[in-house]
């Protein structure tokens, strides 16, 4: 949506090594999930930083679903902390899911938004973008000193999840915030929260919600979403 608003080309990469930095246009968008290191900050130079944030439990559910269809997840952070093999054929009620969620691998992936947050020109909560896309895009554009285009509503409509899903069913899955409420049991919630408490608190998320599902309920809800 931002690319459409700014009429810019998007370059997406797993790591800095994949990017032909000299060939980038002066005005472009670069999408990357990478650690904030002195080397990376030097590479980015005058780039404006935008950070996306999402409830960590929803992030872990998304990783669980996506990794079972996409082996390229091994390229995330170039394998720092491990990979997603543990999640193969797992569900949110499996101990394999909990073990992954408590792992150094999960900690590394979840830490990226936290690390870049202080330098960001804007932080974009996923939940806000889904619920109020027009308001959120205008806010981001204002932070970038850009005006909203006249065709903003058309850009939003073209990028709704149901219109993107035909491009990649597993990449554009459900696009619904709050799936964790019906998929993650209480014991798992608290264990994951304790492990990543700094991520939850820094990004402004909690595990306070309606009652947690039982194991049977969570498993039923998961299978129902996959059907």
The tens digit of pLDDT for each residue in 148-198 reads 999 999 999 999 988 887 877 667 778 899 999 999 999 999 999 999 999
Segment among 35-39, 106-110, 163-167 with least mean pLDDT: 163-167
Q: Are residues 145 and 66 in the same domain?
A: no
Residue 71 pLDDT: 84
Number of domains in the chain: 2
Give the range with max mean pLDDT: 42-46, 107-111, 169-173. 107-111
On whether the CB atoms of residues 116 and 205 are closer than 8 A, the answer is: no
Neighbour tally for 37: CB within 10 Å: 11
Question: Do 176 and 157 have their domain in common?
Answer: no
121 contacts 29 by C-beta, under 8 angstroms: no
Q: Which residue has the tokens 């780039």?
A: 47
Residue-level pLDDT at 170? 67
* Structure-token match 């032909």, residue found: 20
Does position 50 have pLDDT exceeding 80, yes or no?
Answer: yes
* Closest-CA residue to 174 (of 13, 61, 72, 12): 61
Residues 86 and 184 in one domain: yes
Q: Are residues 74 and 107 in the same domain?
A: yes
What domain range is 196 assigned to?
56-112+170-226
Nearest-CA neighbor of 1 among 137, 201, 95?
137
Same domain? 38 vs 120: yes
**Segment holding 26, helix H or strand E:** none
3-state DSSP call for residue 12? strand
Q: Out of 166, 183, 200, pick the residue that ends a domain.
A: 166
Partners of 12 in the β-ladder: 31
Once rounded to an integer, what is the mean pLDDT over residues 129-153? 96
Distance between CA atoms of 123 and 104, rounded to whole angstroms?
A: 24
Cα–Cα distance between 166 and 170 in angstroms, integer? 10
Q: Is the pLDDT of residue 124 over 90?
A: yes
Question: Same domain, yes or no, for 49 and 65?
Answer: no
Contact 92, 225 (CB under 8 A): no
The pLDDT score that the predictor gives to residue 69 is 85
Strand partners for 122:
50
Mean pLDDT of 78-95: 95
Query: Is the predicted pLDDT of residue 11 greater than 70, yes or no?
Result: yes
145 shares its domain with 64: no
Q: What is the pLDDT of residue 16?
A: 95
For the chain, what is the mean pLDDT?
93
Distance CA 112, CA 14 (A): 13
Quick one: pLDDT at residue 161?
85
Same domain? 27 vs 129: yes
Q: How many helices (H) and strands (E) does the chain have?
A: 13, 4
Question: Is 143 in the same domain as 71?
Answer: no
- Supply the pLDDT for residue 227: 79
pLDDT at 175: 86
23 Rama sector, left if φ>0, alpha if ψ -120 to 50, beta otherwise:
alpha
pLDDT above 90: percentage of residues in the chain = 85
What does the pLDDT average to over 127-147?
A: 95
186 and 222 co-located in one domain: yes
What average pLDDT does range 45-58 have in this prediction?
Answer: 95
Tokens representing 5?
Answer: 């608003």
**Domain shared by 79 and 179, yes or no:** yes
Residues 27 and 93 in one domain: no
């Amino acid at each position: 949506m931002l690319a459409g608003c700014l009429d810019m080309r998007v370059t997406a990469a797993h790591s800095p090594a994949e990017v032909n930095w000299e060939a980038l246009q002066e005005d472009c968008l670069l999408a990357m999930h990478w650690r904030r290191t002195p080397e990376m900050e030097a590479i980015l130079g005058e780039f404006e930083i935008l950070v996306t944030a999402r409830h960590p439990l929803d992030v872990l559910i998304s990783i669980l679903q996506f990794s079972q269809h996409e082996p390229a997840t091994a390229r995330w952070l170039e394998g720092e902390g491990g990979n997603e093999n543990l999640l193969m054929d797992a569900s949110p009620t499996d101990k394999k899911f909990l073990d992954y969620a408590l792992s150094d691998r999960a900690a590394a992936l979840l830490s990226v938004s936290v690390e870049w947050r202080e330098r960001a020109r804007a932080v974009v909560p996923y939940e806000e973008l889904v619920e109020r896309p027009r308001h959120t895009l205008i806010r981001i554009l204002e932070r970038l000193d850009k005006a909203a285009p006249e065709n903003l509503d058309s850009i939003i409509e073209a990028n709704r999840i149901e219109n993107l899903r035909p491009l990649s069913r597993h990449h554009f899955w459900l696009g619904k915030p709050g799936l964790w409420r019906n998929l993650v049991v209480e014991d798992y919630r608290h264990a994951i929260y304790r492990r990543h408490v700094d991520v939850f608190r820094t990004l402004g998320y909690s595990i306070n919600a309606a009652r947690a599902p039982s194991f049977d309920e969570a498993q039923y809800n998961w299978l129902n979403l996959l059907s």
